Structure 1
């Protein structure tokens, strides 16, 4: 009997310990808590970027806050042409969409990859979407907009050829 009790207590302790280590869906950061942030708020910008695709590959974030137009430069280390041009372009569109939707005064974002560089302005991206990005109030609606526009490789290429 004592052996069974010890096994049950050990098993329950293990279950409690493991359930405490798992990350639930609810504990994921809500990016829209940073809505209406400013480029000058480096912690908000950093927190947003840390939740975006390829955040683990980010080498450096630079903020242009001294004079307008205000901007952000994101430099990545391990994303190169081998990972696919399409993947890089999707990352540029997705990340810039979130940054423009959440950061009130950012006018441009530069993406530096080992083999390529891209620059996106708020105006160019909003024209491509035919939609103002600062009007979005939640992550799901913004992701839906992004996915609708990423469906067609031709549409994506049009954005980069403008």
Structure 2
């Protein structure tokens, strides 16, 4: 019974006309909404806009910095690996197929001219060792000196022609040798180098520590603990034809 009554009430309600809104009412509501939107604080709108822009820029900046550090870290590791695996070719010099580096001579740092066996070992590690005949020490009083004699006569392993071929770049080889000798022998003041034939004056050379240090502009003992300066100050001079010619022109 109750259900029938509720059903009849629903039918009557549905049959009633739907409420409508006049055009004036619609316009009034529309105007109010526009006014409220217009009255919203421009500062607030601007602040919100800037906030969004700032957040976006901050995100981009953080991403860029992260990428930068990752890239440089990778590049740095590659550089270190490359350096460890491939030492700079400028740090060494070659004569007649043999390569010489600063490290080859470092063990003799602080040697003295009075130590005959040590001087002989130093000469064995320098260019021309296979044609070295004798060496003499002058240790009675300063200045202390060293005389080195190179030649082929009486040596089975070198003929005259091979000897001449080996010493074709004699000025460069001898300059390298005396540079190392002054560097590792602390109290060495002068060096005489004689190449056979002794009658040829061009095959006799004399050097002093003073002129060798003037050539490089530094105390020679410093280079053993400064490989970078050895690479950038000493070897470029020895490898330069013009520097070699200029140095020997004053001999």
Find out whether 1:35 has 2:35 as its counterpart. Answer: no
Deviation at 1:142, TM superposition (A): 7.2
- Aligned equivalent of 1:151: 239
- How many correspondences in the alignment? 134
CA contact (8 A) 1:94 1:146 kept: no
Spell out, residue by residue over 1:33-73, the C-alpha distance to the aligned partner (whole angstroms, 9 max, x if none). Answer: 21111100111111111100011110001000111110101
Please show how residues 89-104 of structure 1 align to structure 2 within 5 Å. 89-104=171-186
What 5-or-longer segments of structure 1 have no aligned partner?
1-28
Larger radius of gyration: 2
Q: Which residue of 2 aligns with 1:76?
A: 150
CA-CA distance at 1:155 after TM superposition: 1.1
Q: 1: CA distance between counterparts of 2:240 and 2:215?
A: 13
Residues 172, 239 of structure 2: 8 Å contact kept: no
**TM-score of the two chains, using structure 1 as the length reference:** 0.73
Other-structure match for 1:65: 139
Query: Match for residue 110 of structure 1?
Result: 192
Give the ranges of 4+ consecutive aligned residues of structure 1 lying more than 6 Å apart after TM superposition: none
Query: CA, structure 1 residues 101+63, in 2 after alignment: closer, same or farther (shift >3 Å)?
Result: same
| Bigger proportion of residues as helix | 2
Which stretches in structure 2 are left out of the alignment for 5+ residues? 1-102, 153-159, 198-202
The alpha carbon displacement at 1:160 in A equals 1.1
Q: Secondary structure at the match of 1:127?
A: helix
Q: Matched residues in 2 for 1:133 and 1:89: separation?
A: 19
Distance 2:124 2:229 in 1: 17
Tell me: CA distance 1:89–1:141, structure 2 relative to 1, closer, same or farther (3 Å): farther
Larger CA deviation: 133-142 vs 106-115: 133-142
* Structure-2-length-normalised TM-score: 0.48
Match of 2:209 in 1: 122
Higher relative contact order (CA 8 A, sep 6+): 1
**Which residue does 2:70 correspond to in 1?**
none
Distance in 2 between residues matched to 1:40 and 1:142, nearest whole Å: 28
- Per-residue displacement from partner, 1:101-124 (whole Å, max 9, x unpaired)? 000000001100013100111110
Secondary structure in 1 aligned to 2:114?
coil
